[in-house]
A and B are shown apart, each in its own frame.
Chain A
Amino acid sequence: MGKEMDVRFKKFGPISFTATTKVNDFVDYLEKGKVAGTRCKKCGKKYFPPRADCSNCLGSDMEWFEIDGTGKLISYSTLHYAPSGFEQDLPYTIALLDFGEYKVFGRVSKDIKEDELKIGMEMKVKAVKLPNGQLSYEFVKP
């Protein structure tokens, strides 16, 4: 028998469709309350979502960095229909934040009403543990 498959990525998000990836450590950072991306040690390019390989210089020597500070809200939408498995979460808001060197896609915290959102506003990314035990992150006010 070989080594057991590392399937930590199953824990990411309300529903994960991916079991394993070379950036499984992302889930460990979430567990510690941190949202992290990767940075190429060779050329310095920052990636979010994190990547194991750098398409800029073809290097695979990456280090983790923590997402901190605030990003600008590029756009958002509140869903009133959902794909299978997400119906109980409705309505929920997806959004994209711009941190300059990288962007982060995710959901807006349920604590924020849609009419409180404004394109261009500053938001923070926060790691969260979901009621079903899954690990995720959401966008909150700074």
Chain B
Amino acid sequence: MREKVAIVGVGQSAFVRNYPGSIKELAFEAFREALQDAGLSAKDIDASIICSAPEYDKQRSPAGVIAEYLGLTPKPTFYLESICSSSSMGVRVAYSLIESGLHKIVAVIGFQKMSEISSAESQERMGRGADIQWESPFGTMMPAYYAMYAKAYMEKYGLTLDDLALVRVKSATYGQLNDRAVYRKPVTLEMFKDPENLMSRPVATPLRVGDCCANADGSSCVILAKREEAKAITDKPVWILGLGAASEPVNLTGRDLFTGLSVAIRAAEEAYKMAGVGPKDIKVAEVHDCFTIAELMAYENLGFCKPGEAKELIRNKETYKEGRIPVNVDGGLLSKGHPIGATGGSQIRTIVLQLRGEAGPMQVPGEPDIGLVHNIGGVGLYGNVTILGR
């Protein structure tokens, strides 16, 4: 039986540029919404997992103060991080806590207040996002690594700069429909060709400002429950059908693939196997589009198309809401925003709402029954794939 653990409640704060409150208050917004969604109260939660990327936090050990503020004490709480995939990893661990019989109902709370530190501090930390001994001394940063993947990919498969821009155009299409998104304006191909437009400004060749996701403050919450409890809590449980996770060397010198992310391929294989489904069964997906190239590689790494064919998917609008396999129809990281620790939980929330038929203007037609979340930490350093079904 694959219906062992279900998601019974989801919540998310608005993703904003500068959140006017503390990390506790930010976490509270998502937690309250998830509790109300599930019809539970804080005392029903048996354990909580708090997820963020610690380099943006001033608070040491955020789990304690957040659990206190959310009324989750005296139940066990702990902190978990795998950078940008922290809250997907949190859901993986919550699943095992429930499946092992230790707890019945677990809350995974992801948050990030990137504006907690100054932009100079943030820039400095960004430089140390790589192997600090052998890579950071050269002045590296996240966009430059993904840019190297983009360069290698474009060379091998004939992908164009316009293809990259088309991903951003799609995400902006849906960002406008998402009232929780940080970037709600349209983006056009012309903006990428206009040297006066910010979107066209080079960040790390071949990536431009428009190819990079928007930093944001935000929180997310996913409440998971054991089969029997889930059925008692809600008549719309969304089951966790498959979980996959993997890691890769941080330092690029330890890698072999530069036109895709090995962690995504491995994690997807594992998740499909556990769920007993394949890429063709996925009706809606959320992928980790921290950069436009990342979304295109995800199409292939998840098996939505063969290597080199991602450009056809975006050119033919097959990943739009009405297409063959809708991807990131909530705006993705590019337009919805990327509050690191909250991102995975937010992606999972989007798929849960889609499977329940509650995604409003973003709802994919045809009553999707199976969805997938692809959440990556660092530059393909950690990878989590989660398959959900109703």
- The reply to whether chain A is a binding partner of chain B is yes
- Please give the residue numbers on chain A whose beta carbons come within 8 Å of chain B beta carbons, in ascending order: 9, 12-18, 21, 48-49, 74-86, 89, 92, 94-96, 102-107, 114, 119, 136
Pick the contact of B147: A17, A48, A77 (CB < 8 A).
Answer: A77
- In the complex, how many angstroms separate the beta carbon of A39 from the nearest chain B beta carbon? 15
CB pair A13 B253 closer than 8 Å: no
Q: Which residues of B contact A48 (CB under 8 A)?
A: 253
CB pair A17 B148 closer than 8 Å: no
CB pair A74 B258 closer than 8 Å: yes
B313 at the interface (CB under 8 A from A): no
- Please give the residue numbers on chain B whose beta carbons come within 8 Å of chain A beta carbons, in ascending order: 120, 123-124, 126-128, 132-141, 143-145, 147-152, 155, 201-207, 251-255, 258
Pick the contact of B205: A9, A77, A119 (CB < 8 A).
Answer: A77
CB pair B133 A17 closer than 8 Å: yes
CB pair A13 B203 closer than 8 Å: no
CB pair B148 A119 closer than 8 Å: no
CB pair A75 B148 closer than 8 Å: yes
- In the complex, how many angstroms separate the beta carbon of B216 from the nearest chain A beta carbon? 18
CB pair A105 B205 closer than 8 Å: no
Pick the contact of A15: B137, B147, B255 (CB < 8 A).
Answer: B137
Q: Which residues of B contact A89 (CB under 8 A)?
A: 139
- In the complex, how many angstroms separate the beta carbon of A85 from the nearest chain B beta carbon? 7
CB pair B138 A94 closer than 8 Å: yes
Assess A18 versus B132: contact at CB under 8 Å? Given A78-B205, A79-B204: yes
CB pair B137 A17 closer than 8 Å: yes
- In the complex, how many angstroms separate the beta carbon of B297 from the nearest chain A beta carbon? 13
CB pair B136 A17 closer than 8 Å: yes
CB pair A49 B127 closer than 8 Å: no
Q: Which residues of A contact B137 (CB under 8 A)?
A: 12-17, 136
Pairs A–B under 8 Å by Cβ, sample size 13: A12-B137, A13-B138, A14-B137, A49-B134, A77-B147, A77-B150, A78-B202, A81-B141, A81-B203, A85-B124, A94-B148, A96-B258, A103-B255
- In the complex, how many angstroms separate the beta carbon of B258 from the nearest chain A beta carbon? 6
Q: Which residues of A contact B151 (CB under 8 A)?
A: 75-77, 119
Q: Which residues of B contact A84 (CB under 8 A)?
A: 120, 123-124, 127
Bound complex: CA of A119 vs CA of B200, how far in Å?
24
CB pair B134 A105 closer than 8 Å: yes
Residue of A nearest to B120 (CB): A84
Knowing that A74-B152, A79-B204, A114-B205 touch, tell me 18 more A-B residue pairs with CB under 8 angstroms.
Answer: A9-B133, A17-B132, A75-B258, A77-B151, A77-B206, A77-B207, A78-B202, A78-B204, A80-B203, A82-B127, A83-B128, A83-B136, A83-B141, A85-B124, A94-B140, A94-B144, A96-B148, A106-B138
Residue of A nearest to B121 (CB): A84
- In the complex, how many angstroms separate the beta carbon of A84 from the nearest chain B beta carbon? 4
Bound complex: CA of A48 vs CA of B249, how far in Å?
13
- In the complex, how many angstroms separate the beta carbon of B126 from the nearest chain A beta carbon? 5
5 residue pairs, one from A and one from B, having the closest CB atoms: A13-B137, A83-B127, A86-B139, A77-B147, A75-B152
